[in-house]
Copies of this chain bind each other. A is one copy, B any other.
Amino acid sequence: MRNAAIAFDTMTASAIALATDAGLTGFAFDSIGRYGKGALLRERFFPRLLGAPSDALLDDEGFIDPPALARVAMTNEKSGGHGERSGAIGLIEAAAWDLRAKQQQLPLWASLADYYRTVGAGASISVYASCGHFRTDDVLTDEVRRAIGAGYRCVKIKAAGDMTSDAKRLERAAAALDPQAQWAVDLNGALARERAAQWFDAVAPFKLAWIEEPAPPLDFELLELYAEMAPVPLATGENLFSYDDARNLLRYGDLHRDRDFLQFDPLLSYGVAEYVRILELYADWPRRQFMPHAGHLFAAHCVAGLNLGMAEAAPDATLPYGGYWDGVHIDAGRLKIPEVPGVGFEAKANLFAVLENT
């Protein structure tokens, strides 16, 4: 399985279990993109947590305080350079959020909404299906049809930034879509400057809901140009892993606040506390413009608990990292998060089997 830039077949994942003496366990499972965090966690971050006095990690009510864990884990870290470290910290904070919500006997989204006093939080969220990766055997049409059949109303497919090869994929996807469905295209940074004008013209008739990551993630100058040229909304940010980088996107990317979408991924970016700092930085952007990258069950709770626009789903529920909680159905592009404490890993059997066995 590939996108325009990379293949995924040798990726691993990190998971964390954070157990209390009282018998509760908070879990976290990696988002997608950066992996191999084991030594970072064991050599840099866990020792700081284990060395901290417990009251430094708890709030006034005695619940675990996830942002405090992220802060303690970051003690003595040099600033700048946000890559793998941001994902290791995000994972620690996420396990603490699962644990905190379980201590409070709340679904995570309600715990988040309480912590951050979110206006408009609720269990029902919009989701979209991420399909159409490049495979040896192109199963695009079938994949898109199955996503629509499963209840999704917004589908994203991968493109390569080359009209000759993209045209077929776009037409095939368009033919497989319900006329009411929305769809988007993900370039994974692969649109070359010299082809951009022609490419934007060629995709204009498809009325895409958004064009994702047309420029490499840190090339804000090229993004600024594309934001000017694009006939439809742009989306970007899944490879910006910090407040610092999100601020540079805001300063230099020249995105449009009522049109474009932001896809920072809390799990890969130091966690929810950093994500909320980013939301505050973008205070004059509507919350609906935020659509966290990947992140799976955890990201769905962030969308619900922080009142964001939409969550991204890998639609194949037979995979541990695909679909949602067992028995939860997508209805007209929306789902309702079930009433289970925490993230609810326990309520998705194939994923929980992975967590239990590690």
Q: Which A residues contact B (CB, under 8 angstroms)?
A: 5-8, 10, 12, 33-40, 42-44, 47, 76-86, 188-189, 216-221, 239-242, 244-245, 247-248, 251-252, 268
CB < 8 Å: which of B47, B76, B240 contacts A80? Answer: B240
CB distance from A91 to the nearest CB of B (A): 13
| Chain B residues, Cβ within 8 Å of A40 | 36-37, 39-40, 84
Q: Which of B35, B44, B76, B252 contacts A252 (CB 8 A)?
A: B252
* Total copies of the chain: 2
* Cβ contact within 8 Å between A81 and B38: no
Chief secondary structure at chain A's binding surface: loop
In the bound complex, CA of A39 to CA of B7 (Å)? 20
A44 to B38, CA, bound (A): 11
CB-defined contacts of A84 to chain B, threshold 8 Å:
40, 81, 83-85
Pick from B6, B79, B217: contact of A76, CB below 8 A: B6
B81 near A47 (CB under 8 angstroms)?
Answer: no
A6 touches B77 (CB 8 A): yes
B38/A189 in contact, CB under 8 A: no
Taking a contact as CB atoms under 8 Å apart, the answer to whether A244 and B216 are in contact is: yes
Q: How far is the CA of A89 from the CA of B354 in the complex (A)?
A: 30
Known: A36-B43, A84-B40. A79 touches B10 (CB 8 A): no
